[in-house]
Amino acid sequence: MGFEEKVKKNKNTIYVPDIARITRIEYLSPTEKVFKIVFDDEEIKNKFEFKPGQFVELTVFGLGEAPFSIVSNPTNKDFFKLCIRNVGNISSALHRMVEGTKIGIRGPFGNGYFPCQKMKNHNVLLIAGGLGIAPLMSLIRYILHYREDYKEIMVVYGAVNPGSILFKNEIQYWSNRGDISLCLSVDNPDNKWTGEIGVCTKLIPRVDFPSNDTYITVCGPPIMYRYVIDELEKKKFKPENIYLSLERRMECGVGKCNHCHIGDKLVCVDGPVFNLWEIRNLKEAL
Amino acid sequence: MLYKVLDKGVYRDFVKALISEYEFIGPKKKDKSEHDFVLIKDISELDTNYMRTTIPPAKKILFPPNEQLVAYELGENINVRSVVESSKKILFGINAWDINGMNFLDEFFTTDFIDENYISKRKKLIVIGMDSEPTETNFSPSIGAEYAKDGFDIYLTELKNRYFVRIATPKGNEILEKYTKVNDAIAEDFKEYNKYMDNYRMKFKMSVDIKSFYDDFESIYDNGDFWKKIAKDCYSCGSCNLVCPTCFCFNVKDDIELNLKNGKKIREWDSCMIPEYGLVAGGHNFRPDKENRLKKRYRCKLKTFIDKFGKYACVGCGRCIEACLAKINIAEDINLVKKEVSI
Amino acid sequence: MNKPKVGVFGFTGCGGCQLEILNLEDQLLDLVNAIEIVHFTELVTEYSDTYEIALVEGSITTKHGVERIKKIGNIAKTIVAIGACAVTGGLNCLKNLYGPEKAKELVYGDKKDWIDSIEVKPIDAYVKVDYYARGCPPNRFEIVDIIRSLIVGRKPEIPNYPVCIECKRNGNTCVFELGITCMGPVSRAGCNSRCPNSVSGCEACRGVIDDPNVNAHKDLLSEYGLTVEDIMEGFNLYNACKGKTIEKRDK
Ligand code: SF4
Ligand code: SF4
Ligand code: FES
């Protein structure tokens, strides 16, 4: 029978989290915090490797589990970081937590991630809306780590207002570096704001990267995608070079509960990052 | 596959022996309209002459409606461990389409990641199949599921004075050798079996035209009026999912005791037809309309797994049709899609 | 973790919901360890005005009741309505079908003016209710779950799907198959499909789901020979106060 040879003996089933500690909590904005997480078990810590765009399932014992994408640089092996917005049961419990609290982690998950290897020797355009900057952070940090392997890098980032711009210090540091161009835009400026105003899609027509030599990554709220894609297609970027990170309800993270499905794909195992070619005919995706 | 015959005269003793030796799950009459697969202690309870079961037998055993996955204990250190229940059982009298439904789940729960909770029960399950009467809503021949070619250990087909026995595994052979006596099937037996199957297939009244559904579905996908009409009466009650032999959606819940120390994670059957299915933290619902959810169910049943496994996630058992109080009928809708696209 | 102070209050109803809490038996001990009960009409006589969580049973049917519930609303941080009477007005709402004056007359005859009786309303007509433990009687495990959720700091999960889901998880034969009618497809689950489990139709004691397909259900019930009046009676048994919303959706 077919199923038998596939069965291997694991110590734990796919549903058992490993225990980890929140070792630092950074305040980003009134609604977002960054959590630095370290596994208790040395062996698990050493085995844990992830690619930009992947996510973990985080358990708050007594409450439940939720998926969060990793924001830290994949080259850091001792810890990883999650940027969490206070919106649900789990995230608000996390926001009440103090450093040192123990949690459970499963993952990293996602066979679809940002192809940072393929992007080498090409231009990279990164487009983020709101909290969408979080999954891209890991990629940006990786690229900056190996900066000389890549051509031009540009980040287009739109937020609701200046106060809701995340990772301000790091963004400041990027603009000082000079080897990464930056377009910030807010919907509702305050009187100190000197940058762009309006949705970040407006900035895309100004991008002058050649269409055959550019990788694009997009992450943002569901409504943003359609507009961004329209603009990108006008510029004749290739669909197979446009990578989108999608969000759906997740329960298991391992392709079993089916909640995350979009058309014929599962976000947790086939994604969460898809290229536009893959999801073009998934009418539900965007 | 080995082909044998079992004399009707020794059949009862064979079954009795299995009942006394094993945890034996078989069909038992529940009420005037249904049977249920339950633990059988005495052969008088067993009634293999059944037609309807609400919950598919294999799913009920291998992927129960509520199942603990993890146990944990909070304190200075947090202890977590997996909880996997499994015990040796015989599943007796399951029919061909339900075996095919189980075969689907076998493949599903071992793809990408291996679900130990399912598969450890499956490994210990001995499956003895038998044909049952199809309901009027059964269209399994159109899907090719009225006949099981694997997934069982033994399959018994009732002929005039004997059973035609197909043995698919060494385990099945062992059991037969140990508890009864079978003879090799000869040309005469095959001939009668063949005639029986022809007759059996004639009993299925419903048929669907599914050949071109894979493409037709995409062509009609954006036709909002078509789907609105089909889904008009849907209650979003999820009955269709829960009774399906291949539906596997579940929620995971964290359940801590009032002492705030011991807790567990459990999974329970969910349904893609209820509004909460697509709801994420923060309140956005990715599939708020019932017609979209119905469309999604049809996609999952009839298209998604053609890409993944080359199979339908539907065996044509007709349970969802019978369970639906809004009379939404997947078989009619498949044919309707065909009609709509070809005019 | 701090033990939250909890008050249990009764209004017009049979008191059965409070008994339901006392029926917890083996969990009761853990419960009283996890919380501090400072007021419990059916259990203790002492009376306290400091509590964070109020568990409220019964519907509001008197002017005095209105004052009391408003006072609770001012003190408690979290209000949990327990049982059909508190949540939807429950059976008591049948009174409203006659109008309050007519009802008083029917019950108390010429002494009707002595009676403080107003239109029956669920408690959320007067105070903001945070969570609802629906049902008649409510599911005691759900009450525990709500309390536990409040202690660990999560939103209690109260199903908004129909009873059919639980009914199927329990592997029941649908009672319609047996010629019995059922409100399951439009009624809120959470009772573990108590009625269909014992082969009788659901009566929607936990209220209807947020988006019930009322038209489909009317069609279905009429196939079983029920008229629109019978059907409304089915809805009304526990939902007369909310009957208007059902009518509205119907259009
Ligand atoms: S299709 Fe029928 S069984 Fe399925 S959710 Fe809709 S009403 Fe319920
Ligand atoms: S008995 Fe009632 S609750 Fe159960 S499936 Fe039938 S209609 Fe739904
Ligand atoms: S989260 Fe369960 S299948 Fe993707």
Same domain, A76 and A212: no
Average pLDDT, chain B: 94
Q: How many domains does chain A have?
A: 2
Residue A2 in this model has a pLDDT that exceeds 60: no
Gyration radius from chain B CA atoms: 22
From chain C, the residues in CB contact with A62 under 8 A are 152, 154
Which is nearest to A237 in space by CA: A262, A261, A216?
A216
| Domain range summary for chain C, segments of one domain joined by + | 5-152, 163-239
What pLDDT was estimated at residue C154?
83
Same domain, B240 and B296: yes
Residue C245 in this model has a pLDDT that exceeds 60: no
Which is nearest to C154 in space by CA: C145, C166, C163?
C145
Ligand 3 atom nearest to CA at A256? 3
The rounded distance, in Å, linking the Cα atoms of C87 and C104 is 23
The rounded distance, in Å, linking the Cα atoms of A181 and A126 is 10
pLDDT average, residue stretch B86-107: 96
Interface partners of chain B (CB pairs < 8 Å, 3 or more) are A, C
Provide the pLDDT confidence category of residue C14 given band limits of 50, 70 and 90. Answer: confident
Two tokens at C195? 């009625």
For A91, residues 6+ apart whose C-beta sits below 8 A from its C-beta are: A66, A84, A85, B281
Same domain, A143 and A255: yes
SS3 state of residue C26: helix
- B248 interfacial to chain C (CB closer than 8 Å): no
Same domain, B104 and B21: yes
Chain A nearest-CA residue for B106: A3
Structural domain includes residue B133: yes
Same domain, A30 and A71: yes
C181 vs A1, residue with greater confidence: C181
Chain B nearest-CA residue for A63: B254
Residue C246 in this model has a pLDDT that exceeds 50: no
Describe the strand order of the beta sheet including A123-129 as a list of residue ranges: A196-197, A181-186, A153-159, A123-129, A214-219, A242-245, A273-275
What pLDDT was estimated at residue B225?
93
B66, B237, B253 ranked by CB distance to C185: nearest: B237
| Backbone dihedral angles phi then psi of residue A284, each to the nearest 5 degrees | -80, -15
pLDDT average, residue stretch A194-212: 86
What pLDDT was estimated at residue C186?
92
Average pLDDT, chain C: 81
Same domain, B107 and B128: yes
Domain range for B133 is 2-67+84-201
pLDDT average, residue stretch A67-74: 94
Same domain, A160 and A37: no
Structural domain includes residue B207: no
Task: Answer yes or no: is the C-beta of A253 below 6 A from any ligand 3 atom.
Answer: yes
DSSP string computed for C34-88: HSEEEEETTT-----S--SEEEEESBB-SHHHHHHHHHHHHH-SEEEEESHHHHH
Provide the pLDDT confidence category of residue B245 given band limits of 50, 70 and 90. Answer: very high
Structural domain includes residue A253: yes
A255 contacts B111? CB cut-off 8 A: yes
Structural domain includes residue A285: no
Q: What is the pTM of this model?
A: 0.90
- Of the candidates A87, A109, A131, which is a domain's last residue? A109
A248 contacts B123? CB cut-off 8 A: no
DSSP string computed for B241-259: HHT-SS---EEEEEEE-TT
Same domain, A170 and A54: no
Structural domain includes residue A286: no
Of all residues in chain B, the percent with pLDDT exceeding 90 is 87
User: How far is ligand 1, taken at its centre, from the CA of residue B240, in Å?
Assistant: 5
Chain C nearest-CA residue for B289: C211
Question: For an interface test with B, which of C21, C152, C160, C177 has the most B Cβ atoms less than 10 Å from its Cβ?
Answer: C177
Same domain, A72 and A146: no
Structural contact between residues B258 and C27, judged by C-beta atoms closer than 8 angstroms: yes
What pLDDT was estimated at residue C235?
65
Same domain, A128 and A251: yes
Which is nearest to C117 in space by CA: C98, C134, C132, C133?
C98
Q: Which of B229, B232, B235, B295 to mutate to test the pocket of ligand 1 (most atoms within 8 A of CB)?
A: B235
Q: How far is C42 from chain B (nearest CA, A)?
A: 22
The rounded distance, in Å, linking the Cα atoms of A71 and A133 is 9
What pLDDT was estimated at residue C27?
78
Same domain, A202 and A249: yes
Digit-coded pLDDT (tens) for C52-107: 899 999 888 888 888 889 988 888 999 999 988 888 887 777 677 666 667 667 66
Residue B124 in this model has a pLDDT that exceeds 70: yes
pLDDT average, residue stretch B8-37: 95
Q: How many domains does chain B have?
A: 2
What pLDDT was estimated at residue C100?
64
Same domain, A80 and A177: no
Residue A3 in this model has a pLDDT that exceeds 60: no
Same domain, B103 and B225: no
What pLDDT was estimated at residue A27?
93
Digit-coded pLDDT (tens) for A171-186: 999 989 889 999 999 9
Domain range for A72 is 3-109
> SS3 string of C122-189?
CHHHCCCCCEEECECCECHHHHHHHHHHHHHCCCCCCCCCEHHHHHHHCCCCCHHHHCCCCCHHHEEC
Q: What is the CATH number of the domain that holds A19?
A: 2.40.30.10
Per-residue burial over A135-166, b = 16 or more CB atoms within 10 Å of its CB, e = otherwise: bbbbbbbbbbeeeeebebbbbbbbbeebebbb
Q: Which of A14, A15, A56, A256 to mutate to test the pocket of ligand 3 (most atoms within 8 A of CB)?
A: A256
From chain B, the residues in CB contact with C161 under 8 A are 236-238, 271, 274-276
Task: Answer yes or no: is the C-beta of C163 below 6 A from any ligand 2 atom.
Answer: yes
Structural domain includes residue A29: yes
Digit-coded pLDDT (tens) for C37-65: 887 765 555 566 788 899 999 888 888 88
Q: Which of B269, B320, B328, B329 to mutate to test the pocket of ligand 1 (most atoms within 8 A of CB)?
A: B328
Of all residues in chain C, the percent with pLDDT exceeding 70 is 78
Residue A119 in this model has a pLDDT that exceeds 90: yes
Structural domain includes residue B289: yes
- Residues of chain C numbered 165-204 and touching chain A (CB < 8 Å): none
Q: What is the CATH number of the domain that holds A211?
A: 3.40.50.80
B326 contacts C213? CB cut-off 8 A: yes
Which has the minimum average pLDDT: B94-108, B193-207, C91-105? C91-105
B205 vs C2, residue with greater confidence: B205
The rounded distance, in Å, linking the Cα atoms of B19 and B41 is 6
Structural domain includes residue B264: no
Provide the pLDDT confidence category of residue B178 given band limits of 50, 70 and 90. Answer: very high
Same domain, B140 and B44: yes
- Residues of chain B numbered 124-143 and touching chain A (CB < 8 Å): none
Same domain, B175 and B217: no
Structural domain includes residue B160: yes
Same domain, A153 and A226: yes
Residue A239 in this model has a pLDDT that exceeds 50: yes
Structural domain includes residue B296: yes
B281 contacts A63? CB cut-off 8 A: no
Ligand nearest to the CA of B329: 1
Residue A283 in this model has a pLDDT that exceeds 70: no
Structural domain includes residue A17: yes
What pLDDT was estimated at residue C239?
67
Same domain, B238 and B100: no
Structural domain includes residue A193: yes
The rounded distance, in Å, linking the Cα atoms of A160 and A187 is 5
Same domain, A154 and A178: yes
The rounded distance, in Å, linking the Cα atoms of B182 and B5 is 6
Same domain, B231 and B330: yes
The rounded distance, in Å, linking the Cα atoms of C106 and C113 is 12
C219 contacts B235? CB cut-off 8 A: no
SS3 state of residue A34: strand
Structural domain includes residue B208: no
Which has the minimum average pLDDT: A191-205, B63-77, B286-300? A191-205
Same domain, B179 and B229: no
**ipTM of the complex in this document:** 0.93
Same domain, B233 and B123: no
Same domain, B233 and B294: yes
Same domain, A130 and A206: yes
What pLDDT was estimated at residue C248?
35
Structural domain includes residue B257: no
Point out which residues pair with C122 in neighbouring strands. none
CATH top-level class of C5-152: alpha beta
